[in-house]
Amino acid sequence: MSADYDQEPFVPIRGHDEEAWAGYAAIGGELARAVERLGRPKTVIVVESYPGVRRAEIVAGFRQALSAFSLDVREAEDAALPPSGVQRRIERYLTDDRVFGYLSSFRIDEFYEADKLEDLRASIEASSAQIVLVTGFGASLAVRGDLRLYADLTRWEIQQRLRSGEIGGWRETQREDDPLKRYKRGFFFEWRMADRFKREHLRAADYYLDTNVRDAPVMVTGRALFAGLAQAAGRPFRLVPYFDPGVWGGQWLQRHIGLPGRDHPYAWGFDGVPEENSLYFRYGAVRLELPAINLVLFRSIELLGEPVYARFGAEFPIRFDFLDTIGGQNLSLQVHPDTAYIREQFGMAYTQDESYYILEAEPGAEVYLGLRENISADGMIADLRAAQAGEISFPAEDYVQTFPASAHDHFLIPAGTVHCSASGCMVLEISATPYIFTFKLWDWDRVGLDGRPRPVHLEHGEQVIRWDRTTAWTEAECVNRVEEIERGPGWTEERTGLHKLQFIETRRHWFSETVSHEQNGSVHMLNLVSGEEATVESVDGSFEPFVVRYAETFIVPAAVGGYTIRPSGPSAGRTIGTIKAYVRV
């Protein structure tokens, strides 16, 4: 990774430059023209909103931008259940745990009251204003409207607002002061419900409103939005990366990307998680930011491939992210649940199998992986409990096997395998995507950045540890299982994993000449793990050449078909490497 790493990649959208507006003044001008085109004495504008949108800002911005019209505002959420009623319905899904709940399947209409919706409709009908603005999460339940807007924001921006305390949970009884519990409420209750509602209603929107930046909205027509999604699903693209500090964070990400200094070093880098990352679409001079999950929701088959969609639905099952411990500390000692446990305990359909691909490593770097031979399970659990109680520091090396880690090593981590990266590693983590289902067993006597002890879930972890994953098994099954698949002039393809118990396949290519990639019915996610630059090209001219640089993750939708990658720029004529992940179908 170098200063050339692109922190603001975008997808250029062709043919819709005149259907994008930035700022409330320009947006108000377009809405005023739309109202005039309708030619009605009263226009009802519905602004359906994702939870976390700054609705008060939108109302204030529209009041000023549409000041030539008399305007009434109706808050749709006045017709929702009171917070106490919402809480009664969802509390069994949220539990008392700081991190984990049970994935709910609610729909937004379950939280609105029919008589209050009728009263709201009557109030809208009775208004004598030229424009009635109806806002809120669930506003579309109240009235169809004459003009329909969808106000959206990205998951990362929601997290920033939750962390700062600017927003709380939707219809919560009182503001939760624990950021982990705020995130939990969104994950297990709000966001899946909001995505279901989005999938039903966004196609009907006349306009799409990007509300990520305070007082700087961007709007495109619904037609331009869906044209952009169609174009993105037919070409390689990158997600907008973001980086987050952590107690164990290192120095590599900040040094090699040129990130601004922080009080706490960067631990994570996310540039391959469509459910969390965003996309930039550029319409001429206007840049729109939207959640990448929108592409997954509305272009599922083209993006994922029909076999992957049939298996997972509208979910992106592969995740690439960075873990930086170079100059930092060990990650927490941890384990992931198997599929049966995660389904029964949390309502998830699949689990977080993963692997560590080592981009770079300091001398002496290690990975903790699997258990030592002939240890006592009862003894290990007893020591973990004593450590959790603050009675001892857990003697990890007595129980957990360590392996030396060097650049381009690949460690496979099937669910149930105890593991963590030690200090000195720059890890490209390749995993399935259930996000948060990591059971910490031991956290090296640390507290979080908020000064609170980081959650340890020994009560879950001890239920899923595979005690047969000892040194001999781990060494044979999980450490650098490299198998040459094929070679040609100037290139070699290797299979590096993942384990046969996991649904993700990874292939590494070393190449100094152009190498061909064939689609297999699955979306491909890749990273340039060696070399400064490569160019991805279409075999049929369906997309323009796409340049990637060291450590950049990129996605090739299943609809693309075949493509080639060649060294380019400063890497032309040199041997470089990519790692590719896809779903075994």
Q: How many CB atoms lie within 10 A of CB 529?
A: 21
Alpha-carbon span 300 to 557, nearest angstrom: 10
Residue 471: C-alpha distances to residues 205, 315, 334, 466, 480 (Å): 56, 35, 17, 12, 14
Alpha-carbon span 475 to 373, nearest angstrom: 12
Residue 386 located in a structural domain: yes
582, 561 contact by CB (below 8 A): no
Q: What is the mean pLDDT of the chain?
A: 95
Reference 432, options 534, 286, 318, 508; nearest CA is 318
- Clarify whether residues 500 and 470 are in a common domain: no
291, 152 contact by CB (below 8 A): yes
Alpha helix (H) ranges present in 370-428? 377-388, 396-399
Question: Is the preceding omega at residue 498 within 30 degrees of 0, hence cis?
Answer: yes
**Cβ neighbours of residue 286 closer than 8 Å, sequence gap 6 or more:** 17, 20, 21, 22, 218, 220
Residue 215 located in a structural domain: yes
Residue 2 located in a structural domain: no
Asked if the model's pLDDT at residue 435 lies above 90, the reply is no
Angle value at C-alpha 545, between 20 and 358, nearest 5 degrees? 105
Alpha-carbon span 220 to 211, nearest angstrom: 12
Q: Which domain holds residue 497?
A: 483-583
Asked if the model's pLDDT at residue 103 lies above 70, the reply is yes
217, 55 contact by CB (below 8 A): no
Residue 6 located in a structural domain: no
370, 418 contact by CB (below 8 A): yes
Question: What percent of the chain is helix, strand and coil (3-state, nearest 5)?
Answer: 30, 30, 40
- Clarify whether residues 435 and 554 are in a common domain: no
Largest CA distance in the chain: 82
Residue 5 located in a structural domain: no
How do residues 271-311 score in pLDDT, each as one tens digit? 999 999 999 999 999 999 999 999 999 999 999 999 999 99
Reference 469, options 403, 561, 371; nearest CA is 371
- Clarify whether residues 456 and 513 are in a common domain: no
Band of pLDDT at residue 399, cut at 50, 70 and 90? very high
For 118, list phi and psi in degrees, rounded to 5.
-65, -40
Residue 437 located in a structural domain: yes
Q: Alpha-carbon Rg of the chain, whole angstroms?
A: 25
578, 509 contact by CB (below 8 A): yes
Asked if the model's pLDDT at residue 352 lies above 90, the reply is no
For residues 434 and 285, the model is more confident at 285
Contacts of residues 341-346 at CB distance under 8 Å and 24 or more positions apart, as own/partner, are 341/460, 341/463, 341/464, 342/434, 342/437, 345/100, 345/102, 345/460, 346/100, 346/101, 346/102, 346/103, 346/437
How do residues 405-430 score in pLDDT, each as one tens digit? 999 999 999 999 999 999 999 999 99
**What pLDDT is recorded for position 498?**
73
For the chain, what is the domain count? 3
- Clarify whether residues 473 and 487 are in a common domain: no
- Clarify whether residues 438 and 495 are in a common domain: no
% of the chain residues with pLDDT over 70? 99
Pairing of strands 43-49, 131-136: parallel
Q: How many CB atoms lie within 10 A of CB 505?
A: 17
Band of pLDDT at residue 8, cut at 50, 70 and 90? very high
436, 187 contact by CB (below 8 A): yes
Which residues in 414-503 belong to E strands, given as ranges? 419-421, 425-432, 439-442, 483-488, 491-497
- Clarify whether residues 25 and 143 are in a common domain: yes
Reference 212, options 159, 258, 163, 139; nearest CA is 159
- Clarify whether residues 514 and 447 are in a common domain: no
**What pLDDT is recorded for position 263?**
84
For 484, list phi and psi in degrees, rounded to 5.
-70, 130
How do residues 157-183 score in pLDDT, each as one tens digit? 999 999 999 999 999 998 888 888 999
Alpha-carbon span 308 to 317, nearest angstrom: 9
Asked if the model's pLDDT at residue 118 lies above 90, the reply is yes
Asked if the model's pLDDT at residue 452 lies above 80, the reply is no
Q: Which residue has the tokens 């698949």?
A: 485
- Clarify whether residues 332 and 396 are in a common domain: yes
Residue 239 located in a structural domain: no
Asked if the model's pLDDT at residue 577 lies above 70, the reply is yes
567, 512 contact by CB (below 8 A): yes
Angle value at C-alpha 179, between 177 and 180, nearest 5 degrees? 120
137, 170 contact by CB (below 8 A): yes
Alpha-carbon span 285 to 291, nearest angstrom: 20
Residue 238 located in a structural domain: no
Instruction: Kindly state the DSSP code that residue 559 receives in the 8-state scheme.
Output: G
**What pLDDT is recorded for position 544?**
96
Last residue of a domain, one of 478, 495, 512: 478
For 547, list phi and psi in degrees, rounded to 5.
-95, 135
Number of H helices, E strands in the chain: 18, 31
How far apart are the two ends of the chain, measured CA to CA in Å?
A: 32
Element (H, E) at 287: strand 286-291
- Clarify whether residues 439 and 380 are in a common domain: yes
Which of 39-43, 91-95, 501-505 is least confident?
501-505
Average pLDDT over residues 127-144: 97
How do residues 319-346 score in pLDDT, each as one tens digit? 999 999 999 999 999 999 999 999 999 9
Angle value at C-alpha 400, between 396 and 402, nearest 5 degrees? 105
- Clarify whether residues 471 and 426 are in a common domain: yes
**What pLDDT is recorded for position 451?**
74
Which of 83-87, 122-126, 350-354 is least confident?
350-354
Q: Which residue has the tokens 């004529």?
A: 573
Element (H, E) at 463: helix 458-464
Last residue of a domain, one of 456, 478, 500: 478
- Clarify whether residues 318 and 397 are in a common domain: yes
337, 462 contact by CB (below 8 A): no
Asked if the model's pLDDT at residue 552 lies above 80, the reply is yes
% of the chain residues with pLDDT over 90? 91
CATH number of 23's domain: 3.40.50.300
249, 265 contact by CB (below 8 A): yes
- Clarify whether residues 106 and 53 are in a common domain: yes
Which of 220-229, 285-294, 441-450, 575-584 is least confident?
441-450
**What pLDDT is recorded for position 3?**
53
**What pLDDT is recorded for position 1?**
39
pTM across the whole model: 0.96
Asked if the model's pLDDT at residue 542 lies above 90, the reply is yes
Last residue of a domain, one of 460, 478, 496: 478
CATH number of 331's domain: 2.60.120.10
How do residues 211-255 score in pLDDT, each as one tens digit? 999 999 999 999 999 999 999 999 999 999 999 999 999 999 999
